[in-house]
Structure 1
Amino acid sequence: MTVVAERTTWADTAERAARAGGAVLLEHRGRVHDVRLKDARVDVTSSADLAAQDAVTAAIHAEHPDHVVIGEESTRSTDDAGGELRWWVDPLDGTRNYLHGVPFFAVAVSATVAGEAVAAAVYDPLRDELYRAIRGRGATCNGRPLRVASTARAAEALVVVQAQSADPAVIAEFARLMRAMLTVSAGVRFPGAPALVLAHVAAGHYTAYVERDMDPWDVAGGRLLVEEAGGRVTDFAGRVRDASTRHDLVASNGLVHDELVAATGMTFEEGG
């Protein structure tokens, strides 16, 4: 099997798995859920997350029984070995949105090989929109090619800045980043659901997305969508990072990228 054929096979699996997870989320939507906090107040998981992850994992293993699947709700470590290929699953991207009835959530499934994302699917079940990417073959939404925004200057960019933590230090850093992006951009948003945000960056709806310390299941697939739609993804120092590791993220249309990377380093005098 050629590299392209193999990656296409993985993308097909990712699509079927994401759709399976999405069907579970629609089935569980509006029900009373068993909800568990992962931190003091903010980060949560629910029975819907767990049921969707079971469906996604089963769909992957039905086609690739020996592959390693690492999900946000699984007990596997990101260090688990299983050859070079790993599957990353966020079964409910945007749990808080889902639990509160906000119609912005998704299922994210991606495959990485030697730290590079090679196939991905991000599925928005409410809109029945399937975002899909194959390394070297482009990105699509329901079969339509995606292209990042043509915005040429940060001053005209619509930027997403997010955080999910009850930690005061993380909140303080988020406030600093929010202020920095408000200073250089045309506007800032916080919709939640990182993988779906990246899909919308790939589609040209948002110009960029900036967040600290993102896990692979949150952003590996969305990162591939952005890159294959003509965008650029780095850390806050402008470096391309291993997609299978936790890292800071600046994802953009490429044209405003250097300005945003520079802005992540902005500091402010007390009271200034």
Structure 2
Amino acid sequence: MTGQNTPTSGAGDTAARADLAERAARAGGAVASGFFRRRVAVETKAGKTDVVTRADRDAQRQVIAAVRTEYAEDAVVGEEEDELKEVPETGAAWIIDPVDGTNNFVREIPVWATSVAAVVDGRPVAAANVLPELGDVYTADAEGAYRNGEAVSVSAESDPEAMMVAPTLWWDRNHRDAYAAACRETVERFGDLRRVGSAQATLSMVAAGSLDGAFTNLSANPWDAVAGALLVERAGGTVTDLAGEPWRHDARGLVASNGRAHDQLLAAARAVEDVD
């Protein structure tokens, strides 16, 4: 998906979608923030660490309501409830994660994001990741990537032994060996490891140069990665799948970097895949 030409949609329409992505993400983030550290009830979905709250559902509804005011016919791909779970290959769609990092959210850790990406014909054109508790808003449009309205770029670090890298997404209880391998590959190949607990926040930090790279061998849900992957690309970084090809929403693996030691990150992700 990233690393390819932007799909055909007029510059004005792309700018409008970028503006709406930010406004919708801000609105959804405000709803979720209203529940933060308020002892909201927690439910589990597929596993003990796959959690959801009323904040997730209410925030997603708010984002959709914002989108529908201007693009009533566009498809919606959302993590919660009965929205689409796959990105349409044709037409316009909005990809929503109302609270990316719900485990952080329910444990009162302020690193979580409300994420909105606009795609046309399966490719992203705009994105916004809002981190309400940190006061940061990351956006991407046709021209670049921004944090709080200021242009950002990936880091210039080229020495792997000085790089800070994040294994990202979540290896569940059936894949503990892969999780351990991801941590081992990181500490053996790079200077330091960070586990942020939100894939969208992680990718936003790669885009802004706070982290030098992030990787997983897993297939990401579109709401966990599309917005962040576009941010990294627009900030001058590299985003690929396990084969080293430009990343798409349906790819196996996700490797995002400043482009200066991408092969090392790819090797780390492939080593985890061998274990998994």
TM-score, scaled relative to structure 1 = 0.91
Q: Describe the superposition over 1:67-123 as per-residue Cα deviations: whole angstroms up to 9, x where unpaired.
A: 111111132333475942111000001101111111101100001122221100011
Counterpart of 1:27 (choices 34, 52, 57) is 34
Counterpart of 1:162 (choices 134, 159, 168) is 168
Does residue 239 (structure 1) correspond to residue 241 (structure 2)? The answer is no
- After superposition, residues 36-115 of structure 1 pair within 5 angstroms as 36-79=43-86, 81=88, 83-115=90-122
Is the CA contact (8 Å cut-off) linking 2:111 and 2:134 kept in structure 1?
A: no
Q: Describe the superposition over 1:115-172 as per-residue Cα deviations: whole angstroms up to 9, x where unpaired.
A: 221100011112322111013x00111110011010112222100013425332x222
- After superposition, residues 115-264 of structure 1 pair within 5 angstroms as 115-135=122-142, 137-168=143-174, 170-211=175-216, 212-243=218-249, 245=250, 247-264=252-269
User: Distance between the aligned counterparts of 1:184 and 1:57, measured in 2?
Assistant: 42
Is the CA contact (8 Å cut-off) linking 1:70 and 1:86 kept in structure 2?
A: yes
Q: What number of residue pairs does the alignment pair up?
A: 266
Q: Matched residue of 1:238: which SS?
A: coil
Matched-pair identity in %: 35
Deviation at 1:36, TM superposition (A): 1.8
Deviation at 1:191, TM superposition (A): 1.2
Is the CA contact (8 Å cut-off) linking 1:33 and 1:46 kept in structure 2?
A: yes
Q: Matched residue of 2:211: which SS?
A: coil
- Greater shift, 27-36 or 171-180, is seen at 27-36
User: Distance between the aligned counterparts of 2:220 and 2:25, measured in 1?
Assistant: 20
User: Distance between the aligned counterparts of 1:180 and 1:53, measured in 2?
Assistant: 36
- Greater shift, 234-243 or 74-83, is seen at 74-83
Q: Describe the superposition over 1:245-272 as per-residue Cα deviations: whole angstroms up to 9, x where unpaired.
A: 25311100011111211232337xx9xx
Q: Matched residue of 2:253: which SS?
A: strand
Deviation at 1:227, TM superposition (A): 0.3
List alignment gaps of at least 5 residues for structure 2. 1-7
Quote the RMSD (CA, aligned, Å): 2.1
User: Distance between the aligned counterparts of 2:10 and 2:183, measured in 1?
Assistant: 41
Deviation at 1:237, TM superposition (A): 1.9
Is the CA contact (8 Å cut-off) linking 2:43 and 2:51 kept in structure 1?
A: yes
Is the CA contact (8 Å cut-off) linking 2:87 and 2:93 kept in structure 1?
A: no
User: Distance between the aligned counterparts of 2:253 and 2:26, measured in 1?
Assistant: 28
Does residue 10 (structure 1) correspond to residue 28 (structure 2)? The answer is no
User: Distance between the aligned counterparts of 1:90 and 1:56, measured in 2?
Assistant: 9
User: Distance between the aligned counterparts of 2:255 and 2:89, measured in 1?
Assistant: 29
TM-score, scaled relative to structure 2 = 0.90
Is the CA contact (8 Å cut-off) linking 1:41 and 1:166 kept in structure 2?
A: no
Q: Matched residue of 1:240: which SS?
A: coil
